[in-house]
């Protein structure tokens, strides 16, 4: 459904000098070459549109590539990074639309939105998207309905707030800094607010439009008892600024994912993004090799979560991690 005859790259030189009749023959030959490739070992070309570099997204992209390596499938990856700029993600997707690709992987919600907007004739898979339906990437998470599907990094927010209460048992307020333009983050903030009530937590929020705003936004949270960092790409990429203020004010920082703990938060019960990327790669293989239709492939979610603790960060932020959590946790 989504194959492209130009995969037969061995014919490219011939096509450049051939007559129209010979070009028509090359289309037929490319189908034969694809059949032969399927017999002797598949080969695909996949573009990767990643919003920004930070540990979680890097791990997701790496896990995606590992799925193909483990399957013994040869892939030429065209990896592009938007450096956190939506306009750049859009430009990358436009370039991919004109390229000879079999599939595009979009990493993070804004990159996925840009890619879905520009690419409709080949499969698009995404990862590190919290709610694809809210982001208008799919008709529904159960039945995507188009050429786009993938994996969600929706965090176990209720469990994460329980973790916060275990580490900071007297906490009555929680602060969140997030990017105002990221749908992914608003979904998480709404979920935190819903889960906070039964746990007697007041939620205080501040939004940012650039990473340079993070430090001031943390200051503006006031004397909250803890800070929760969602999988917000702008804030996670600038986590050092947030942590700096938190340590000065002795405010514990709980994260939605492990990369942020490596960056200075004290704890998470979060997703393994390498495994999430690998799960996405397995979906991609089902599309490319088995002919599954993205329109009927439900958005998948992570099923396993891991405690990750940064004891040095906990000490700097003035808290002690309970032994029952330490005994189950990975440490960074």
Whole-angstrom Cα distance, residue 308 to residue 253? 13
Cα angle: 181, vertex 183, 186; to 5 degrees: 95
Residues of the domain holding 120: 42-152+273-301
Residues 204 and 283 occupy one common structural domain: no
Q: Answer yes or no: is 285 within a domain.
A: yes
Task: Kindly report the CATH number assigned to the domain that includes residue 226.
Answer: 3.40.50.2300
Confirm whether 207 is domain-assigned.
yes
What is residue 298's DSSP assignment? P
Q: Which residues of the chain fall short of a pLDDT of 50? A: 1-40
Distances (CA, A) of 302 to 151, 211, 276, 277, 322: 8, 28, 6, 10, 26
174 and 264 co-located in one domain = yes
User: What would the pLDDT profile of 28-68 be if each residue is shown by its tens digit?
Assistant: 333 333 333 344 467 999 999 999 999 999 999 999 999 99
At 286, list the tokens.
Answer: 């089902």
| 234 and 166 inside one domain | yes
Residue 25: its pLDDT value, please? 33
Is the residue at 100 inside a domain? yes
Are 206 and 316 in the same domain? yes
Distance CA 63, CA 153 (A): 14
Query: Same domain, yes or no, for 202 and 323?
Result: yes
pLDDT at 41: 63
Among 97, 197, 190, CA closest to 147 = 97
Residues 230 and 266 in one domain: yes
Based on the fold, state whether residues 214 and 127 are members of the same structural domain. no
Give residue for tokens 């803890």. Answer: 226
Q: Are residues 74 and 199 in the same domain?
A: no
Q: Residue 13 falls within a domain, yes or no?
A: no
Q: What is the DSSP letter of 175?
A: E
Residue 30 lies in a domain: no
Say whether both 293 and 312 belong to one domain.
Answer: no
Domain for residue 232, yes or no? Answer: yes
Q: Is residue 202 part of a domain?
A: yes
**Quick one: pLDDT at residue 30?**
33
312 and 283 housed in the same domain: no
**Residues 69, 50: Cα–Cα separation, whole Å:** 20
* Phi, psi angles (nearest 5°) of residue 129: -115, 125
If one counts the domains in the chain, the total is 2
52 and 163 in a single domain? The answer is: no
Rg of the chain over CA atoms, in angstroms?
Answer: 22
Please check whether residue 35 lies inside any domain of the structure: no
The most distant pair of C-alpha atoms in the chain lies apart, rounded to whole Å, by 79
Per-residue pLDDT, 57 = 95
Eight-class DSSP state of 262 = H
| pLDDT value, residue 13 | 38
Residues 209 and 227 both lie in one domain: yes
């Amino acid at each position: 459904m989504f194959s492209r005859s130009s995969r037969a790259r061995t014919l490219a030189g011939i096509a450049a000098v051939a007559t129209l009749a010979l070009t028509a023959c090359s289309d037929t030959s490319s189908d034969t070459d694809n059949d032969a490739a399927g017999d002797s070992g598949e080969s695909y070309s996949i573009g990767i549109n990643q919003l920004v570099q930070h540990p979680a997204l890097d791990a997701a992209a790496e896990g995606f590539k590992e799925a193909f390596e483990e399957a013994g499938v040869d892939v030429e990856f065209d990896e592009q990074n938007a450096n956190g700029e939506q306009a750049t993600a859009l430009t990358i997707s436009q370039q991919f639309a004109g390229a000879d690709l079999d599939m595009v992987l979009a990493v993070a919600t804004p990159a996925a939105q840009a890619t879905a907007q520009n690419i409709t004739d080949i499969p698009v898979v995404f990862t590190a998207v919290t709610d694809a339906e809210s982001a208008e990437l799919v008709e529904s998470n159960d039945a995507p309905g188009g050429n786009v599907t993938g994996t969600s990094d929706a965090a176990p927010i209720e469990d994460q707030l329980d973790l916060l209460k275990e580490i900071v048992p007297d906490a009555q307020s929680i602060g969140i800094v997030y990017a105002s333009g990221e749908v992914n983050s608003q979904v998480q903030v709404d979920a935190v607010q819903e889960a906070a009530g039964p746990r007697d937590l007041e939620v205080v929020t501040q939004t940012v439009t650039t990473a340079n705003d993070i430090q001031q936004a943390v200051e503006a949270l006031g004397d909250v008892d803890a800070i929760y960092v969602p999988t917000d790409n702008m804030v996670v990429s600038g986590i050092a600024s947030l942590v700096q203020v938190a340590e000065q004010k002795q405010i514990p920082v709980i994260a939605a994912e492990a990369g942020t703990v490596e960056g200075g938060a004290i704890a998470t019960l979060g997703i393994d993004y390498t495994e999430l990327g690998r799960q996405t790669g397995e979906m991609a293989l089902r599309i490319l090799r088995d002919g599954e239709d993205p329109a009927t492939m439900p958005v998948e979610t992570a099923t396993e979560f891991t405690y990750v603790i940064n004891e040095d960060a906990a000490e700097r932020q003035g808290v002690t991690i309970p032994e029952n959590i330490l005994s189950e946790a990975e440490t960074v």
